[in-house]
Structures are given as C-alpha cells and as structure tokens.
Chain A
Amino acid sequence: DAGITQSPRYKITETGRQVTLMCHQTWSHSYMFWYRQDLGHGLRLIYYSAAADITDKGEVPDGYVVSRSKTENFPLTLESATRSQTSVYFCASSGVGGIQPQHFGDGTRLSIL
C-alpha cells in the first residue's frame, strides 16, 4: 500500500536553478494538489488538478509550473528558484465525488540558497 509518495524528501539548490518536485499516487485518485507550508501561513494551495491534463491555479501559483500527463503523477517545477520559495512542499490527492478527504505525502523540504 504505497499511497502517495514524494521525492526527493530533501533538496538544497541555488537561486536561479530549476528544480522539480515529484509526486506519485497509487490510488488512481482524480484530484491532486500541491501545497507549501510556512511558519505563520499554514498550508497554502499552489496548484491543483482535477484530472489528467486539467490543472488550475491555487492561492500562491507565481513562480511554479505543474503538469499532469498521467493520472498518478503530478510534478511541480520551480523554473527559476528564489529564496522566498524555501519551504516544505506537500502533495495530496483525493477521489472524485466531492465529499472525500485529501491524503497527503510526507513532504519535500526545499532550501534555496
């Protein structure tokens, strides 16, 4: 029962670099989500996807790009990393139907120097 896995767990990079965070789920859930978690802000939605090839912006999308070519994968790319994007990133998924909880991965801790 793999559930939802994120990789890498930890990443250090430099400003201006491109970095991609991976998210994979084995439940065939339709919905997938990316959040960032920062002290004082809680969980903030970056992007979400209702199905393969359907993505939409969340609360804080600037500086991020997502794609969803396959139902099970939802990578998040920082095209040119900035220090303000240092954070813990969580991926989540949920089934279709409206009344279902989101299930989270264990996060990627990203530090941008």
Chain B
Amino acid sequence: GESVGLHLPTLSVQEGDNSIINCAYSNSASDYFIWYKQESGKGPQFIIDIRSNMDKRQGQRVTVLLNKTVKHLSLQIAATQPGDSAVYFCAEKGGNNRLAFGKGNQVVVIP
C-alpha cells in the first residue's frame, strides 16, 4: 500500500516501551481535538479525542494530554506493540465540523 509515512518525522520505539507523539495546533479557539492512526493502505482510524475543557483523557493503553497555554497536544501509548506501527495524526475542530489535520508522525516499533 501507499506509504503515507514517507518524509514524515519518525519515532522508533522498542517494543514494550512507551511512545509519546507530539502535535502543535494553530487555533487557540479550537475546542475539540482528535488523534487518528493510519496504517498502510487504510483510512485514518479514530483513537481518542479530548475537549478543550479537559487537560487529560485516558483510553485503553493511550492517553491524550492537552496544554492550551502552548497549544500543544500529545498522545502517549503505553507498552508499545508491533501493531502500533503506523502514522499518527492530530486534528483540531474548526467551524462546521471541519477538521484541520497535522502532517502526521510515523511510529516504527522495533521488535
């Protein structure tokens, strides 16, 4: 499948370690943020979201942190597994339910 990860920032992680993926967003008025995972040949898959009235939200093995002061979003993946290898995108919601996507970060898990 197409390698959407070419030319993207790449994070190489040892299997079992924790991963942290960072994202800077642009609009201080954005009130909703989403992280997506995209595997080769597939569409972006929803991972976790967070509203602007929260600083942290946890899911299964994933945690999203929101720092509105510096307009920064991060995704933490605990105990990274080979199946976590993918491109990860952050997105912020604008008007009319439209999303603005970041360029993405490639995560490569080393067995």
Q: Which residues of A contact B (CB under 8 A)?
A: 31, 33, 37, 39-40, 42-43, 45, 48, 50, 56, 58, 88, 90, 92, 94, 96, 98-107, 109
Q: How many residues of B contact A (CB 8 A)?
A: 26
For B47, the closest partner residue in chain A by CB is A101
Main secondary structure of the interface of A (DSSP, over half): strand
Instruction: Report the minimal beta-carbon distance from B43 to chain A, rounded to whole angstroms.
Output: 4
For B6, the closest partner residue in chain A by CB is A39
Contact of A37 among B4, B6, B93 (CB under 8 A): B4
Q: Are A99 and B51 in contact (CB under 8 A)?
A: yes
Known: A88-B2, A109-B2. A43 touches B97 (CB 8 A): no
Contact partners of B36 in chain A: CB under 8 A:
104
Residue B103 at the chain A interface, CB threshold 8 Å: yes
Contact of A104 among B2, B44, B96, B98 (CB under 8 A): B44
Q: Which residues of B contact A (CB under 8 A)?
A: 2, 4, 6-7, 31-32, 34, 36, 41-46, 49, 51, 89, 93, 96-99, 101-104
Q: Are B97 and A98 in contact (CB under 8 A)?
A: yes
Complex CA gap A39/B7 in Å reads: 8
Q: Are B96 and A50 in contact (CB under 8 A)?
A: yes
Contact of B101 among A39, A43, A94 (CB under 8 A): A43
Q: Which of A33, A42, A48, A103 has the largest number of chain B CB atoms within 10 A?
A: A42
Known: A102-B99, A104-B44, A107-B43. A42 touches B104 (CB 8 A): yes
Q: Are B98 and A43 in contact (CB under 8 A)?
A: no
Contact of A98 among B6, B32, B41, B49 (CB under 8 A): B32
Q: Are A90 and B44 in contact (CB under 8 A)?
A: yes
Contact partners of A43 in chain B: CB under 8 A:
44, 89, 101
Q: Are B44 and A39 in contact (CB under 8 A)?
A: no
